[in-house]
Structure 1
Amino acid sequence: MAVTNSTGPHLRIVGPWNYSISCAIGLVLMTFWVFGLLLNGLILFTFLKTPKMRSPTNLFILGLIMNDFTLTFFGHPMDATAAFVGRWPFGHIGCQLYGFAMFFTGLNAISVLTAIAVDRYIVIAKPLYASKITKRVAFLSLMVCAAHALLWTVPPLFGWNRYVLEGGGLSCSVDFESRETSDRVYQISIFISSYFLPIALILFCYYHVYMTVRHVSRNTTFGKDSDVAKKNRKVEEKMFRTCLAMFGGFLFAWTPYAIVALYVTFGDPHRVPTLILTTLAVWAKSSVVVDPSIYVFTNPMFRIAMAAHVPCQPLKNFLLPKEDDDDDEKPEPNRRGSAVAPAQEEADV
């Protein structure tokens, strides 16, 4: 039976909600925590042990994986504990720290995905500028992404909006329910600068990348007979599909929550069932498993590198790709190719 039980200005239970539901959510969060740590940790370890994998594009991927590892390591134990306890046990300060950390990693993730899309756009659609994307540029770009996330996650700590309990009181986030003018400005600014504009830029980049790849695949006169050009084109096209899949995974995880947050902000929050809001908030955190899974299972070269560090033989056999996939994935040594031009020398840091 649906009920409404006000327990404070920001914690409101709407619809069916009980301790059994809270424990079930805790089990899901624990699952995300374990698999998120294992997958992201193993990827980070593989990057650490395999210097040849640290291309500029893979540095962007590394930044995204580090972001997901941070979210998993700091966030999931807290919200899982709250779910098993049935309430938020970490007090006001804990809510502020958790809300800041989760919001920062969420905004940083979409910023890094935008940087990855721009990288793919330059390397594939604008190959004359591909040599400009060096490891130094990739590192600086990741710093800009983090700065952009900080720009919007620090203000709630100092009074421009605030971090409050959400849903069933198992986690904290920005106050999307506030109707104060200053909070309205913050809410609108967040949605535009950290969701709609990045997605628009990503779609723009990937559309032009797709059109470039399509054009090159039909062009029989430009580098078509070059083994180097064909091999590097395959590498870039595979990386493009991997990046596009990771972006799709992010949308799959975060868009339902973003839609509900929009409704809570501009609609009637009293009509959003607590179970729906909490479930979608938990689903958004599945990105810590979705992102690394997509990267590993769409990247044969990385699976080979990862398998070398896995002690379990069945898992090692599972990770190793087929022989033909392995051959297609190998680029021309010491060169950074593009989809439309012969490979260019990769600039060092």
Structure 2
Amino acid sequence: MYKGKQEMMAELSDDFYIPVPMETTNISALSPFLVPQTHLGSPAVFMSMAAFMFLMVVFGFPINILTVICTIKYKKLRSHLNYILVNLAIANLLVVSVGSTVAFYSNAQMYFALGPLACKVEGFTATLGGMVGLWSLAVVAFERFLVICKPLGSFTFRESHAIMGCAFTWIVGLAAATPPLLGWSRYIPEGLQCSCGPDWYTVNNKWNNESYVLFLFCFCFGVPLTTIIFSYGRLLITLRAVAKQQEQSATTQKAEREVTKMVIFMVAGFLVCWLPYASFALWATTHRGELFDLRMASIPSVFSKASTVYNPVIYIFMNRQFRSCMMKLIFCGKNPFGEDEDTSVSAQSTQVSSVSSSQVAPA
């Protein structure tokens, strides 16, 4: 009985879907494009979300745009291994400029005031940027595995390989973000109805949402996560073998500890970004028809958008070379922390026997 009611409500609109109490019959009166969604949360909840999204824009935009500007300005940062980091920054800028900004405005209005078309644009853009960023993290890990662990022997990582890695992330990003525009799932308001994403909780099979969510879970979460764990796992094994051979070297032992810590941060950052979203979407797919609190559904979206801030902190700002160049750019050529950006050595010209922490962190 309840599931039938939910299916009927899902058919009332192609632009939104809200699981509401059974006694509600005029679902159009609750449209997230027309009226404040105060039936889902108090104004304080929406203002809190708006404030959080504002912080994501304030912190996310500068750190990512600085990454791009620094790479253009400082030749030493334009190494092949850093191409993917600029790619990650561009993807983050896409999410911040559209996804986080629209979410801030909509939460401040307490409904998606920009309309259904803007919802589809925001959903597509945020998904594209998110998928490119997600796959960039996997490519970062795989590139460092190739360069440091040398599974291909004398393989030399070249500019063409770096460009191919960046192009790959946009191809798979488009492959993941385009289907909802073509009828395989759809983009609708999610959570508190103030930001848009793929429809992962509709019970109606009209949109084939189940298969799309499973596709995203396997291809856009499972494969990158497996790549990251495998690549960094092999890298740690290689580095520990070097550290064991050089037990008397304090520098090598310190590098091994620092790299281990950095890898833990990288894997944890990936999981914080995407595990909540992937888990919630998978739960909703396997528990069709069950009522859930849409306020809770907003949490995964918040974590994924917050990745535009803490991913750069882990992959870029924690790198000594990038950080030093950023400080010089901000403070007009002076680094107030007195760090030497030249201490980070390119992994391309360094043998495994002299692996340092800067080879794992983007150099």
TM over 0.5: same fold? yes
1:151 aligns with 2:175: yes
* Residues 298-321 of structure 1: per-residue CA shift (max 9 Å, x gap): 2122222112111389x9525x44
The equivalent residue for 1:347 is none
- Segments of 5+ residues of structure 2 without an aligned counterpart are 1-5, 22-38, 357-363
**What residue in structure 1 maps to residue 209 of structure 2?**
183
Q: In the alignment, which residue of structure 1 is the partner of 2:25? A: none
SS state at 2:196 partner: strand
Higher relative contact order (CA 8 A, sep 6+): 1
Distance 2:111 2:345 in 1: 52
Give the one of 229, 233, 255 matched to 2:275. Answer: 255
Task: Kindly provide the amino acid, as one letter, of the partner of residue 72 in structure 1.
Answer: V
State which of 57, 61, 65 in structure 2 corresponds to 1:41.
Answer: 65
1:28 and 2:52 correspond: yes
Letter in 1 for 2:239: V
Does the residue aligned with 1:165 lie in a helix, a strand or coil? strand
TM-score (norm 1): 0.82
Secondary structure (helix, strand or coil) at the match of 2:352 reads coil
Deviation, 1:199, is 0.7
Which blocks of at least 5 consecutive residues in structure 1 are unaligned?
344-349
Tell whether the 8 Å contact from 2:99 to 2:195 is kept in structure 1 after alignment: no
1:193-342 maps to which residues of 2 (within 5 A)?
193-220=219-246, 242=262, 245-268=265-288, 270-311=290-331, 316-318=335-337, 320-321=338-339, 329-331=343-345, 336-340=349-353
1:164 to 184, 188, 208: 188
Please give the per-residue CA displacement for 1:5-34, whole angstroms capped at 9, x wherever unaligned.
989661346896122211110010001101
Opposite residue 176 of structure 2, the aligned amino acid is W
Residue of structure 2 equivalent to 1:84? 108
Describe the SS at the equivalent of 1:90.
Answer: coil
Aligned amino acid, residue 73 of structure 2: K
Aligned equivalent of 2:359: none
C-alpha distance in structure 1 between counterparts of 2:151 and 2:218, whole Å: 30
For the aligned residues, what is the CA RMSD? Answer: 3.3
Amino acid at match of 1:287: S
Which residue in the other structure is 1:10 paired with?
A: 17
Deviations 1:171-229 (A, max 9, x none): 111111234283322221111111112211211111111111111111249xx99xxxx
Aligned residues: 325
Aligned partner of residue 54 in structure 2, secondary structure: helix
Is the CA contact (8 Å cut-off) linking 1:19 and 1:86 kept in structure 2? yes
Q: Secondary structure at the match of 1:271?
A: coil
Q: Verify the 8 A CA contact 1:13 1:167 in the aligned structure 2.
A: no
Please give the alpha-carbon distance, in whole angstroms, between the structure 1 residues aligned to 2:104 and 2:258: 36
What letter corresponds to residue 125 of structure 2 in structure 1? A
Looking at structure 2, the residues matched to 342 and 300 of structure 1 have their Cα atoms a distance apart, in angstroms, of: 16
CA shift, 1:47, in A, is: 1.0
What does residue 110 of structure 1 align with?
A: 134
Query: How many angstroms does 1:338 deviate by?
Result: 3.6
Q: What is the rounded CA distance, in whole Å, between the counterparts of 2:234 and 2:257 in structure 1? A: 13
- Report the TM-score when normalising by structure 2: 0.79
How far apart are the structure 1 equivalents of 2:128 and 2:135?
Answer: 10
